[in-house]
């Protein structure tokens, strides 16, 4: 008789180093060592990326098991001792938390996750749900980590998902520049059949797989299939030792923070929103190179902005015209005078207005330009004074330099959750829904430097 047992984790990291994925990796390995085999890889669930006080990325972790009842006590011990060993709660803002939940994941937890992807949730909301669930909570210091830990339990394989393979650095190398042969990453990126994404920023050639902070991640490669990611990982030439490797199920690259549509009157600060509306003022470039326009729907008007770091995406936004219908995706920020602005992460052009221009006639006698004689009147040659009727005005429609499709900033400006260009192609999207049929420890065993078996 097997029992479903779920572990949610958050906030064992901090801005000064550490990484919740690393804690989850150690727990996962320890479980394998003790022959407790999780049903699938651990989950790295990214939550609303527009909450300014969360560490960049706002990721929480979950491990799902089906296990004999008598293992549960030992599993909890492994989790709590690993958190103690890997987190540094003396650093302000680090509030490690774990949640233990037995039985199938209730719908309320899935809804809580969806809310945590779009909104700002309170500790009170998390507590309320935890009490109703009769879940067990483990915290070291503050309790703020329970929001993410609970939300992480609510994202599963029934929703669009991808994978990430992460190689971790040895303690000795922490804080030093990462030694990875960047050309080998670029070469790996060219292997389209591996179905990876966001390895390289195409415009700048910048390699995006290696972070720069003090955290223990040497390299992370994202893609559609765990076995492909192992192959991609082995193609990259790493010039420093790798302590361990783990593969994660993730909601990265899925647009999961944009899967519901809001109206302008309902949005509030720090939300991730998708708004369907009509461009109501022509875009303009402001100081600092930021591009702004106004969007309206039947409930109100809001400013939308493509900020300078979004690079050429701003040129796309500048081509919008009043009357164009768009889906605007982004994070809500508060500007001066409590004015809300949607910081655009993506734009879908739904329909384009005609770019109509009217040209006054040239004089039929001398070829000079004509001037209007007033509203609803005809035209008069500026040079010889000859008059022409109103109907000589010609209407011309200029081609629009936009299409009815998705537009994204370059990968270097993406959030972890942003669905990249490669995944917008239908074929790739389909792949993400195919379940791989191998157990995690089998795939990890394909690595020469896999975890200890």
Token duo for residue 253: 């690259």
User: CB 368 → Zn ion: shortest distance, Å?
Assistant: 5
Stretch touching Zn ion by CB under 5 A, among 270-278, 314-322, 377-385, 408-416: 377-385
Where does this chain touch Zn ion (CB under 5 A) — which range of 31-39, 66-74, 186-194, 376-384? Answer: 376-384
Measured distance CA(107)–CA(359) in Å, rounded: 61
Residues 148-177 binding Zn ion (CB under 5 A) are: none
Which CB, 315 or 392, lies closer to Zn ion?
Answer: 392
Cβ closest to Zn ion, residue 92 vs residue 367: 367
Strands 370-372 and 379-381: what pairing?
A: antiparallel
Determine which residue in the list 381, 417, 432, 443 makes contact with Zn ion, applying CB under 5 A: 381
- Gyration radius of the chain's alpha carbons: 27
The nearer residue to Zn ion, 133 or 370, going by C-beta atoms, is 370
Q: For 354-402, give the secondary structure using H, E and C.
A: CEEEEECCECCCCCCEEEECCCCCCEEECCCCCEECHHHCEEEEECCCC
In the complex, least distance from residue 360 CB atom to Zn ion, rounded to whole angstroms? 13
Phi and psi (nearest 5°) for 197?
-145, 160
In 123-251, which ranges are continuous DSSP H helix? 123-133, 145-152, 182-190, 226-235
**At its nearest, how many Å lie between Zn ion and the CB of residue 392?**
13
- Judged by DSSP in three states, 1 sits in coil
Q: How far is the CB of 371 from Zn ion (least distance, A)?
A: 11
- Least distance to Zn ion, CB of residue 395, Å: 22
Cβ 419 to Zn ion shortest distance, Å: 58
Structure tokens at 99: 């949640």
- Under the binding rule (CB under 5 A), the answer on residue 123 touching Zn ion is no
Whichever of 197 and 388 has its CB closer to Zn ion, that residue is 388
Listed in order, strand segments (DSSP E) in 205-363 are: 217-223, 242-250, 272-285, 291-297, 300-306, 325-334, 340-351, 355-359
What residues from 28 to 47 belong to the interface with Zn ion (CB under 5 A)? none
C-alpha to C-alpha distances, 14 to 60, 86, 126, 200, 251, nearest whole angstrom: 13, 11, 21, 26, 21
Separation of alpha carbons 452 and 444, rounded Å: 10
Query: Cβ closer to Zn ion: 284 or 382?
Result: 382
Q: Which of 29, 16, 75 has its CA nearest to residue 243?
A: 29
Q: Is the dihedral of CA 257, 263, 264, 265 positive or negative?
A: negative
How many residues make contact with Zn ion (CB under 5 A)? 8
* Residue 440 near residue 40, CB atoms below 8 Å: yes
Q: Which helix (H) or strand (E) holds 137?
A: strand 136-139
List the interface residues with Zn ion, window 336-365 (CB under 5 A).
Answer: 363, 365
Nearest to Zn ion of 126, 363 (CB atom) = 363
Cβ proximity to Zn ion: between 122 and 368 the closer is 368
Pick 174 or 366: Cβ nearer Zn ion: 366
What is the nearest approach in angstroms of Zn ion to the Cβ of residue 383? Answer: 5
Q: How far apart (Å, rounded) are the C-alpha atoms in residues 230 and 232?
A: 5
Report, in Å, the least distance between residue 363 CB and Zn ion.
Answer: 3
Of 366 and 373, the one with the shorter C-beta distance to Zn ion is: 366
Bridge partners (DSSP) of residue 53 are none
| Span from 23-31, 190-198, 245-253, 386-394 in contact with Zn ion (CB under 5 A) | 386-394
Stretch that binds Zn ion, among 123-131, 318-326, 345-353, 374-382 (CB under 5 A): 374-382
Taking the complex as a whole, the smallest distance from the CB of residue 337 to Zn ion amounts, in Å, to 53
Residues 288-327 that bind Zn ion (CB under 5 A): none
Residue closer to Zn ion (CB basis): 365 or 438 = 365
Residues in contact with 90: Cβ distance below 8 Å, sequence separation at least 6, in sequence order: none
Q: Nearest approach, Cβ of 384 to Zn ion (angstroms)?
A: 3
Strands 340-351 and 300-306, by their bridges, are: parallel
Q: Of the candidates 84, 373, 384, 442, which one interacts with Zn ion according to CB under 5 A?
A: 384
What does each C-alpha distance from 437 to 32, 124, 273, 440 come to in angstroms? 18, 39, 35, 9
Among residues 125 and 386, whose Cβ is nearest to Zn ion? 386
Nearest distance, CB of residue 403 and Zn ion, angstroms: 42
| CB of residue 380 to Zn ion, shortest distance in Å | 9
**81/369 with CB nearer Zn ion:** 369
- Which stretch, 71-79, 192-200, 234-242, 379-387, contacts Zn ion (CB under 5 A)? 379-387
Task: Note whether 366 binds Zn ion by CB under 5 A.
Answer: yes
3-state secondary structure at position 207: strand
Classify 317 as helix, strand or coil. Answer: helix
Residue 40 has which token pair? Answer: 């699938």
Chain residues that interact with Zn ion, rule: CB under 5 A: 363, 365-366, 368, 381, 383-384, 386
């Amino acid at each position: 008789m097997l029992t479903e047992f779920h572990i949610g984790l958050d906030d064992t990291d901090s801005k000064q180093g550490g990484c919740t994925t690393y804690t989850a990796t150690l727990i996962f390995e320890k479980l394998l060592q003790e022959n407790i085999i999780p049903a699938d890889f651990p989950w790295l669930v990214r939550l609303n990326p527009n909450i300014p006080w969360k560490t960049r990325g706002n990721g929480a972790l979950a491990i799902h098991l089906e296990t004999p009842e008598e293992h549960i006590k030992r599993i909890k011990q492994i989790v709590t001792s690993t958190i103690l060993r890997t987190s540094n709660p003396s650093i302000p803002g680090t509030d490690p938390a774990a949640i233990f939940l037995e039985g199938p994941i209730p719908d309320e937890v899935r809804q809580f996750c969806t809310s945590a992807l779009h909104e700002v949730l309170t500790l009170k909301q998390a507590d309320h749900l935890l009490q109703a669930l009769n879940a067990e909570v483990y915290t070291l210091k503050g309790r703020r980590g329970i929001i993410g830990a609970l939300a992480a339990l609510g994202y599963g394989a029934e929703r669009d998902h991808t994978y990430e393979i992460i190689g971790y650095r040895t303690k000795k190398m922490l804080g030093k520049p990462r030694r990875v042969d960047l050309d080998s990453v670029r070469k790996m990126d060219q292997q389209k059949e591996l179905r990876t994404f966001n390895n390289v920023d195409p415009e700048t050639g910048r390699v995006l797989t290696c972070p720069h902070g003090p955290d223990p991640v040497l390299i992370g490669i994202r893609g559609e299939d765990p076995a492909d990611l192992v192959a991609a990982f082995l193609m990259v030439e790493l010039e420093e030792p790798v302590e361990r490797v783990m593969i994660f199920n993730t909601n990265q690259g899925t647009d999961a923070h944009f899967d519901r549509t809001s109206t302008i009157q309902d949005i509030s600060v720090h939300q991730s929103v998708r708004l369907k509306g009509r461009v109501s003022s022509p875009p303009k470039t402001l100081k600092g190179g930021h591009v702004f326009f106004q969007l309206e729907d039947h409930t109100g008007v809001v400013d939308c902005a493509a900020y300078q770091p979004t690079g050429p995406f701003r040129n796309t936004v500048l081509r919008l015209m009043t009357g164009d219908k768009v889906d605007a995706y982004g994070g809500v920020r508060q500007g001066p005078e409590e004015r809300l602005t949607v910081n655009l992460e993506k734009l879908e052009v739904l329909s384009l207005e005609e770019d109509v221009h009217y040209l006054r006639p040239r004089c039929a006698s001398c070829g000079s330009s004509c001037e209007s004689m007033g509203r609803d009147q005809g035209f008069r040659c500026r040079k010889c004074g000859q008059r022409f009727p109103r109907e000589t005005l010609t209407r011309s429609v200029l081609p629009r330099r936009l299409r009815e499709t998705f537009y994204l900033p370059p990968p270097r400006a993406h959030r972890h959750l942003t669905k990249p260009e490669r995944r917008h192609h239908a074929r790739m999207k389909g792949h993400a829904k195919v379940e791989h049929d191998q157990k995690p420890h089998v795939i990890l065993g394909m690595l020469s430097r896999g975890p200890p078996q």
